[in-house]
Amino acid sequence: MSSSTTTGNTNGNKGRPGREERREERDAREYRLLTSLDSENKSYIYRTDLEEAIAREGLSLDDYRFKETRKLLAEIGPNDRLDYRAFCEIIRPSILLAERALQGNMVIRDFDEFCRDITEIYQSTLPNTEGKVASYIPQLARVNPDQFAVSLCTVDGQRLSLGDSKADFSVQSTCKPINYSIALQLHGEQVVHGHVGREPSGRGFNELTLNHDGRPHNPMINAGAIMCCSLLKREDEINVADRFDLVMDTWRRLSGGTKVKFNNSVYLSERTTADRNFALGYFMREQQAFPASTDLLETLEFYFQCCSIEVNAEQMAAVAATLANGGICPISGERVFETKTVQHCLSLMYSCGMYDYSGEFAFTIGLPAKSGVAGALMIVVPNVMGICTWSPRLDKLGNSVRGIEFCRRLVATFNFHNYDTLTGHTEKKDPRISRVQARAESVNELIWAASKGDLGAIQRLVVRGTGIDRADYDRRTPLHLAAAEGQVAIVEWFIGRGTDVNPRDRWDTTPLDDAYMQGHEGVIAVLEKHGGVRSGVEFSPPIDVTEMAEHNESGLTNELIWAAALGEVKAIQRLIARGVDLDGADYDRRTPLHLAAAEGHAHVVKLLLDQGVRVSPKDRWGGTPLDDARRHRHGEVVSLLDRHSLASRAEPAATPEPESAPAIYCERMSNS
């Protein structure tokens, strides 16, 4: 392996004669990534630290994007230390993906929490045993009806599978959007829609009916699917087997290169019970709907073969994720369909994909989907993920009973419905935003706007559903901050909207206390007029403003302080990887260390101290983190801060340049 860079002396080579120690510069972005995993500031990590961090984000080192990184990790023992140089050489072949994962910038931010929610939805749906398996195709009638699988794959390749996710099933009607997309790729929109319409039929999926032009209504019903099969013919085609090879290869590519199967017994079963499909074929031939020189029997046989392709839930989730990702498979990185093709396909899945339930599904679920009578349901959350549910019991319309219930619970929990984000505010969870970020944005934006006197921003936030009495981690409200900053008009506006005039913060102080402490006579008059009271708590703000923590208006700082208040170590590590200032402070000059100390999160206090934060920053009222810990009687935190305070006072005035990673650079790597 080639060497990477580090500041100071590389201790990994200490004691090895003939090897020079070099002084090189670190790459700031790479070093932040190492630091985010090095919670104790040891300047090294272990292999498992990296592997576990990647797994927490829903990624696997078996992912093709980690191919080279996986090979390098295989050379390292679980107890070998990785210093800066070793760490960089391992992650550089996949540096951008590793950075996004360690920074928590995947499309689903808190993937472990998201997995818990999906698992709960799965478990809640599992007891539903309503419906019956499809009986008109004999092979489908023999499937175990109790099987249930849920699998999902995000556009970033994060994956989760539950239940019978490895069990194979025939794709049946879920082949229709795929065949339609292949036809678009081969011939374009104008040719394809010269033979098949794009309107919901309002009839049964296999009903003997065509539109007013004598064409199938859309590609998602049987007549339209048969028509699309007649279009899957390339100019260089030698025989009909080439068409089936094209379809099988497309399924393979959509699923990330996995092996796709064909069930001959299902095909024969389909063929012997296909009178209605034969009738549809002859009806369309009578209307001269097919392309010239179409062999009808050959086309029908091909359609039955396409329905008899077999995949499992994990494979179909990857197929759905490819559609969610605009035609690029997140597992392999290969572009399978053009973006325009996927746009057309998802539009028809949204309006026509769920048989006679399509309108109701679009109304209540609001996502593109396609069902099949084998029990599969392929759901697409555009730009987020693909989901597959599989449960053989069907309702009277031919859709999986459990699949429909799972979707109802899914959109009741998450804001995945196509129109959930119209106002930007919903009580549903948004997994595209971390829990900490959601808390920070919902509260701090309103408080910050109040402190700055931005009435327009306050009104917009309130219209979108933000409560005017929401409080932050210190129970500070917008009224507290407006009073502290002398914003008379904002104070009057909040009082006029019926806000509590005397909310109490962590220190039991009221907005009137803030106004008196800062000497804002106008605010004092308004608050006292409307019943404002003082708490009697006295503070002594620091005379030297340099003793106060520096206010940082960055959104990352707000997230960090919330993470510290909530004890969210993982969120803090992600923010370290993104380069956040660990000494940044909020509008009250409160730092992450203040909040971790106040809430008694000793593990967070230790993490921050090990990262070298200031031990005694002062807030608006002159309080330090140690004051917070003592006030709330967090003995372990008091001891930690006392020890670091003594250590910092004992340090010499001039500190020499720190040496770099004291790790043992693993032998196999250093000798390569």
* Domain ranges across the chain: 11-102, 120-413, 435-529, 550-633
Q: What is the mean pLDDT of residues 229-233?
A: 91
Residue 544 has a pLDDT of: 65
Residue with tokens 């794959």, as numbered in its chain:
153
Please say if the pLDDT value at position 7 is more than 50. no
Name the least confident of 29-43, 312-326, 473-487: 29-43
Question: At the topology level of CATH, where does 435-529 sit?
Answer: 1.25.40
CATH no., domain 550-633: 1.25.40.20
596-653 pLDDT, tens digit per residue, is 999 999 999 999 999 999 999 999 889 999 999 999 999 999 999 999 887 766 655 4
Contact 621, 583 (CB under 8 A): no
Please say if the pLDDT value at position 303 is more than 80. yes
* Three-class secondary structure of residue 152 per DSSP: strand
Measured distance CA(236)–CA(221) in Å, rounded? 29
Measured distance CA(653)–CA(670) in Å, rounded? 36
Question: At the topology level of CATH, where does 11-102 sit?
Answer: Recoverin; domain 1 (1.10.238)
How many other CB atoms are found less than 10 A from the CB of residue 540? 9
CA nearest neighbour of 617 among 656, 648, 651, 576: 648
Which positions are annotated as active-site residues? 173, 176, 303, 355, 373
Measured distance CA(565)–CA(436) in Å, rounded? 10
Contact 485, 453 (CB under 8 A): yes
Q: What is the mean pLDDT of residues 211-227?
A: 93
Contact 129, 147 (CB under 8 A): no
What residues are designated binding site?
A: 173, 222, 270, 277, 303, 355, 373
Please say if the pLDDT value at position 264 is more than 90. yes
* Entry pTM: 0.86
85-124 pLDDT, tens digit per residue, is 999 999 999 999 999 999 999 999 999 999 999 999 999 9
422-433 pLDDT, tens digit per residue, is 766 678 999 999
CATH no., domain 120-413: 3.40.710.10
Say whether 550-633 and 11-102 share the same fold.
Answer: no
What residues are designated binding site for substrate?
A: 173, 222, 270, 277, 303, 355, 373
194: amino acid identity, one letter: G
Q: What is the mean pLDDT of residues 194-206?
A: 82
Looking at per-residue pLDDT, the higher value among 95 and 237 belongs to: 95
Please say if the pLDDT value at position 655 is more than 50. no
